[in-house]
């Protein structure tokens, strides 16, 4: 079925739910007027619908291949990428001084969602480059910015992240890739990296690798890691491509999904690299890139949820199976008339809206922090990022699984395309920090303020619930009571001195928080309609049927860790 970019949905969420107008009112983002935003989303939607979405199945059926040392991408991906590049979409939020548009990050979030819903495998390419642009802009020396940023922003060159090694996954500090000074300002980089998305391709230009490595005098662990720029081709001073660097693709990973995205094992053999930022401060520079990527990955999950939802909606309105409850009563005569199918469709639609609103609220906080320098906005963005990444990707997984279920037996058949959404999205809960690590970050570092930001957002939820009680008393009361339960769990979490007690309930706490926050945004959507309309009905479904899950999540979150260690290792692994 054709993919339809959710442009109208984005316009609604930006205008009525997450307060994007305050971003456009700042001097920094004054050009992000409603007309500009609508024009950009319309153009991006047209590109996604007409160019990227038709290539999605090609990426799955004809994966990227490594032939004679060269990565060959899926049929049509070259043309698809060229269309992205010609539109200037890699530089939407990039600095104007280097050729970018300088528009808000929240708008880039929308673009990443739309691209991912149309074609996640190809949409992953610009996402990585955007992250590298951010890292270089904040940490690279001026000469490197001048040379690399215009090329990356235009899309002529692409960027990657090189963190993971066979023995160093989440424990980045265990990496062994070496960087030896050459005495001329360059470094010899040697080592192997795995899981490098778009580590090589035949789309043209240069592939610019941001590589974590360790200098000879480096301290052990993450404190001894530096970040280096290691390009596939060593550029000349004028930006033209020079000699090939001493690096190669060893192999491509055989993956569960996103087959069109080449995931490379990279080998560096005294490759020439240049330091990004300061020696031994590589993690700070890399985290700039990773934090950008974490929100973008959340948008990938939401984009896949949108694609899977549309796919399931079309099938449910076409598939006839037996006599329906609405036979002769104005129904469609299709499985869309059955209560259980309606439950699944409503769940998919309600969760996609909630996840999208949470992610865009995070994007708005990032933009406001950037525009104002206000530490409160920065803290808000930091707190919302793990929620946006985790709930966005978990929503993508859940919604795509429900899409398969709605298709019934046909969902298990690859030709229908339903299974591809489920296979493609599964990695999003793993990369850029697993969702468990996101949750642990949320209850540890993001609560170093004693839970102040977590509580401030709960206060906002309760204020909205109070204002809703006049017109939507049942929903307003339910959201207010849920927020109080969340407040109690937050106080418990912030009060635990033993971080392992927090970690034991970190994921259910995050999911419980997301459930309540999603209800808050659904309630706001209902209020814009005056309490009557399709958004109100969707909000009522979410608040009455999905919001109650927060009770179980938060009960689980506050159990501590002791019972987990009552098991012997043998009992858990037998």
Structure tokens at 71: 């990565």
529 is a catalytic site residue: no
Q: Other C-beta atoms within 10 Å of 368: how many?
A: 24
CA 261 to chain centre: 16
**Crossing angle between the packed helical segments 452-468 and 506-528, to the nearest 10 degrees:** 30
Residue whose pair of structure tokens reads 């949409």 in the numeric block: 123
Q: Pick the catalytic residue from 401, 432, 466, 491.
A: 432
What radius of gyration, in Å, describes the C-alpha atoms of the chain?
24
Q: How far apart are CA 439 and CA 452, in angstroms?
A: 17
Residue whose pair of structure tokens reads 């590298």 in the numeric block: 132
Q: How far apart are CA 314 and CA 452, in angstroms?
A: 45
482 Cβ contact list (under 8 Å, min separation 6): 515, 516, 519, 547, 550
Phi, psi of 241 (to 5 degrees): -80, 130
Phi, psi of 338 (to 5 degrees): -80, 140
Number of helices (H) and strands (E) in the chain: give both, helices first: 19, 11
Q: How far apart are CA 474 and CA 482, in angstroms?
A: 12
- Map residue 140 onto helix, strand or coil: coil
Q: How far apart are CA 294 and CA 359, in angstroms?
A: 10
**Of residues 432, 173, 95, the one with CA closest to residue 287:** 432
Contact between 89 and 103 under an 8 Å Cβ cutoff? The reply is no
409 Cβ contact list (under 8 Å, min separation 6): none
**Of residues 147, 123, 138, the one with CA closest to residue 208:** 147
Q: How far apart are CA 233 and CA 378, in angstroms?
A: 37
Contact between 551 and 513 under an 8 Å Cβ cutoff? The reply is no
Residue whose pair of structure tokens reads 């043209």 in the numeric block: 204
Q: How far is CA 530 from CA 333, 349, 468, in A?
A: 32, 20, 10
Active site residues: 432
């Amino acid at each position: 079925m054709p993919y339809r970019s959710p442009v109208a949905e984005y316009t609604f969420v930006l205008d009525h739910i997450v307060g994007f107008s305050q971003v456009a009112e700042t001097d920094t983002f004054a050009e992000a007027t409603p007309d500009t935003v609508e024009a950009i989303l319309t153009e991006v939607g047209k590109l996604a619908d007409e160019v990227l979405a038709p290539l999605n199945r090609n990426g799955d059926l004809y994966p990227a291949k490594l032939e004679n040392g060269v990565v060959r991408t899926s049929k049509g991906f070259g043309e698809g990428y060229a269309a992205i590049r010609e539109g200037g979409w890699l530089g939407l939020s990039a600095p104007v001084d280097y050729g970018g548009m300088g528009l808000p990050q929240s708008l880039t979030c929308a673009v990443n969602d739309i691209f991912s819903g149309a074609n996640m495998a190809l949409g992953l390419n610009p996402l990585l480059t955007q992250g590298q642009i951010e890292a270089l802009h904040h940490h690279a020396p001026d000469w490197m910015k001048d040379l690399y940023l215009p090329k990356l922003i235009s899309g002529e060159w692409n960027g990657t992240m090189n963190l993971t090694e066979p023995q160093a996954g989440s424990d980045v500090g265990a990496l062994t890739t070496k960087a030896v000074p050459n005495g001329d300002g360059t470094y010899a980089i040697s080592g192997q990296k795995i899981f490098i998305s778009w580590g090589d391709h035949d789309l043209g230009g240069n592939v610019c690798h941001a590589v974590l490595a360790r200098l000879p005098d480096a301290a052990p662990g993450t404190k001894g890691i530096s970040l280096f720029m290691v390009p596939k081709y060593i550029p000349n001073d004028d930006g033209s491509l020079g000699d090939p660097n001493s690096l190669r693709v060893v192999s491509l990973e055989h993956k569960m999904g996103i087959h069109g995205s080449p995931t490379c094992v990279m080998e560096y053999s005294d490759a020439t690299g240049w330091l990004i930022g300061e020696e031994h401060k590589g993690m700070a520079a890399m985290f700039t890139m990773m934090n950008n990527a974490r929100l973008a990955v959340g948008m990938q999950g939401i984009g896949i949820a949108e694609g899977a939802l549309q796919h399931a909606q079309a099938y449910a309105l076409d598939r006839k199976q037996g006599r329906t409850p609405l036979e002769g009563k104005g129904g469609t005569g299709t499985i869309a008339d059955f209560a259980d199918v309606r439950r699944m469709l409503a769940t998919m639609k309600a969760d996609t809206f909630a996840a999208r609103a949470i992610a865009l609220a995070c994007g708005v906080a990032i933009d406001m922090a950037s525009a104002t320098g206000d530490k409160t906005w920065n803290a808000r963005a930091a707190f919302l990022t793990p929620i946006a990444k985790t709930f966005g990707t978990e929503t993508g997984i859940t919604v795509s699984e429900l899409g398969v279920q709605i298709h019934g037996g046909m969902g298990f058949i690859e030709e229908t395309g339903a299974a591809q959404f489920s296979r493609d999205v599964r990695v999003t809960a793993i990369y850029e920090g697993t969702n468990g690590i996101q949750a642990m970050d949320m209850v540890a570092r993001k609560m170093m303020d004693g839970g102040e930001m977590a509580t401030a957002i709960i206060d906002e939820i309760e204020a909205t619930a109070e204002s809703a009680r006049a017109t939507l008393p049942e929903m307003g009361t339910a959201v207010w009571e849920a927020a109080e339960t969340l407040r109690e769990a937050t106080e418990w979490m912030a009060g635990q001195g033993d971080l392992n007690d927090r970690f034991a309930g970190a994921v259910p706490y995050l999911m419980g928080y997301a459930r309540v926050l999603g209800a808050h945004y659904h309630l706001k959507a209902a209020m814009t309609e005056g309490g009557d309309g399709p958004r109100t009905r969707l909000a009522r479904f979410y608040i009455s049927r999905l919001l109650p899950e927060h009770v179980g999540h938060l009960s689980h979150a506050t159990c501590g860790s002791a019972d987990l260690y009552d098991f012997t290792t043998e009992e858990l692994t037998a």
